[in-house]
Structure 1
């Protein structure tokens, strides 16, 4: 597909009619006299409480009597016949949610995209959609340049699909994807062998464990994780593996300290307030030896950490696997920065969910 074709497909996606506008309009007008439930406990579905008449939130694993935002939690099996269900899942598995609902015999399913389009401003688009739309308006030319630079058809298709979804929240663009989070960072084109690996955002050691299993002849691992709880879990998880240096610090573009929400599990991130104060270093200061493979998933702090590793990237030419999904501009910013250091990097893009999260850009 050419750059012109890419732009044409994106424009068509923005203008595409929703799948279920009539039912969405009936919901918004209050004309529908049927039980209505919502899937997804997030800020977008919370905004519907009070705006629509909702009878409950779908939650298969809730304790009996559990409530969410004043709504009772109801398993799919207990939904009444003829119920209308709003699929508010957007981050991980909206397609799988739709399939489970249909397998239970439910067919009156409305998406957030349907409600936003039918409401004509009455229902706000999800935040990730609004952000992506603004970024596309401001930088569509650079998005086209990124598309043209990608190394293979799979990368170009991934960018097109993910961008169309992020611009619309229309799950129809994600029908070919599955949730495969355990596979991210480890694509065949990396050809891992005898690497010195940097795991930036090491969490509980899950990615390092996957790396060590795939590259048993690795030289060294440097795992960075500022959350004490996560780091303890990583040490325990990885005790059977050799040559792992555990760094109890956050990575950024300068040493110091910062506030960090250390108790948010895999979503632990830099915090503008609250959290705890943690030590900060740079990759260039913390690791003296050459590195050959860097993975980063830092909940939006990737650009700062990349800047702190500029010497390693420039001198060592490592393979990079960088999360780019936390904000719309991450795709462009990470791509531009890595290519400014090594214009001949081959760039790949892969996606590991059915929603807006877990997109990784690779530089080889």
Structure 2
């Protein structure tokens, strides 16, 4: 795996040449089917999700490898599942197995180099494995750009020029390099900071004493709970929207003071096929046999001042159903942009066209092209914060 050091993206002309280089070198899609004993590397949140996903597909897992295996063995989620520290594995396990990395908060190229040096022969990102089974499960975080249309290339050029700062350009190029080239590009001036996801300094500076937080795709309410913790004493209102019934039940238990709307949101009021029971990966998909009634955000008439949206690739549809809300409320937006190729050009273009006088920022909070967010801050909020 190739890692490239970037610099000079403060110069838009140089950044544009880097984008042209990406567009010239797009590699074919290469999903990885499981063809040998499968091991997972990493027992954190992504590891748990990956294990559940593989169990749902009926793909056996030989074991889970983690330097802190002893710690994880005591967790309820891992009871009855084989966890190993790296030194507990045999040379045969490493040489004959496929190791799928379930850590997205560290550089994959660095991890891969370390694991190959430790004796593994075949090390891939877990999401590259998941991409091979998209015909059976909609988890899409491992998508490849594969090929670019002229319209996409033009849209990417426009997006690069539109971002409000060099930090955004660096992270956008890093995102595109992974999706188009499967390369880690790194700019030391603008590091990936997982802990700042939804909490970048530019956003914090615009927080007001009273906010109405709309958490669309709330999962278990983790983000809203952290916001509440960091804003103790603020006169805030929290409205959480979560379509998956199992996730919504966790919110009821963990977040009793929050308002919960157990709804599916999109671009129109109609029935939609929805795959539930998948934790983080529950989503609208044609692969589902169950139907949920979808509504638009505009139909709910919510007084949101800050909207966080994480909908597994359904973000643009939800935004299209929220146009009146955006015009009337002019909220701050935090939109995930990494679940499908819309994040490369179509989603940034829509936001720019429908959000006049907004700052648009792009930040990566993870590796392998994941945890990419677009932050949209109204100019009046930014001006007030700078005064």
TM over 0.5: yes
Match of 2:360 among 334, 347, 363: 347
Consecutive unaligned residues in structure 2, runs of 5 or more: 1-8, 48-53, 66-85, 129-139, 378-387
Structure with max Cα Rg: 1
Aligned ranges 1:156-171 → 2 under 5 Å: 156-171=169-184
Rounded Cα–Cα distance in structure 1 between residues aligned with 2:240 and 2:263 = 9
Q: 1:44 to 1:358 in 2, by over 3 A?
A: same
Rounded Cα–Cα distance in structure 2 between residues aligned with 1:74 and 1:362 = 35
- The answer for the alignment partner of 2:223 in structure 1 is 207
**Structure 1 residue 59 and structure 2 residue 40: aligned?**
yes
TM-score normalised by structure 1 residue count: 0.73
Larger RCO of the pair (alpha carbons < 8 Å, separation 6+): 2
TM-score normalised by structure 2 residue count: 0.69
Contact 2:40 2:99 in 1 (8 A): no
Offset at residue 204 of structure 1 (A): 0.9
**Structure 1 residue 5 and structure 2 residue 5: aligned?**
no
Q: 1:354 to 1:46 in 2, by over 3 A?
A: same
**Structure 1 residue 46 and structure 2 residue 33: aligned?**
yes
Deviations 1:74-132 (A, max 9, x none): 8532142994987654882563684387279527766669xx9xxxxxxxxxx978742
Q: 1:101 to 1:57 in 2, by over 3 A?
A: farther
**Structure 1 residue 263 and structure 2 residue 277: aligned?**
yes
Offset at residue 264 of structure 1 (A): 0.6
Q: 1:6 to 1:104 in 2, by over 3 A?
A: closer
Count of matched residue pairs: 314
- The answer for the alignment partner of 2:131 in structure 1 is none
SS in 1 for 2:313: coil
**Structure 1 residue 254 and structure 2 residue 268: aligned?**
yes
SS in 2 for 1:235: helix
Rounded Cα–Cα distance in structure 2 between residues aligned with 1:326 and 1:352 = 14
Rounded Cα–Cα distance in structure 1 between residues aligned with 2:365 and 2:288 = 31
Aligned ranges 1:19-34 → 2 under 5 Å: none
**Structure 1 residue 330 and structure 2 residue 343: aligned?**
yes
Contact 1:165 1:173 in 2 (8 A): no
**Structure 1 residue 358 and structure 2 residue 371: aligned?**
yes
Offset at residue 338 of structure 1 (A): 2.1
SS in 2 for 1:132: coil
Offset at residue 269 of structure 1 (A): 0.2
Q: 1:280 to 1:103 in 2, by over 3 A?
A: closer
Aligned ranges 1:97-176 → 2 under 5 Å: 98-99=110-111, 102=114, 105-106=117-118, 131-135=144-148, 137-171=150-184, 173=186
Offset at residue 157 of structure 1 (A): 0.6
Offset at residue 211 of structure 1 (A): 2.1
Offset at residue 134 of structure 1 (A): 2.3
**Structure 1 residue 219 and structure 2 residue 231: aligned?**
no
Offset at residue 295 of structure 1 (A): 0.9
Consecutive unaligned residues in structure 1, runs of 5 or more: 19-42, 117-126
Offset at residue 215 of structure 1 (A): 3.0
Offset at residue 310 of structure 1 (A): 0.6
Match of 2:252 among 235, 241, 253: 235
Q: 1:159 to 1:302 in 2, by over 3 A?
A: same
Offset at residue 136 of structure 1 (A): 6.0
Match of 2:91 among 73, 77, 80: 80
Q: 1:167 to 1:332 in 2, by over 3 A?
A: same
Rounded Cα–Cα distance in structure 2 between residues aligned with 1:168 and 1:85 = 25
Query: 95-104 vs 266-275, which deviates more?
Result: 95-104
Offset at residue 333 of structure 1 (A): 2.2
Deviations 1:211-241 (A, max 9, x none): 22233414322211111111110121112x4
Offset at residue 45 of structure 1 (A): 3.0
Contact 2:164 2:361 in 1 (8 A): yes
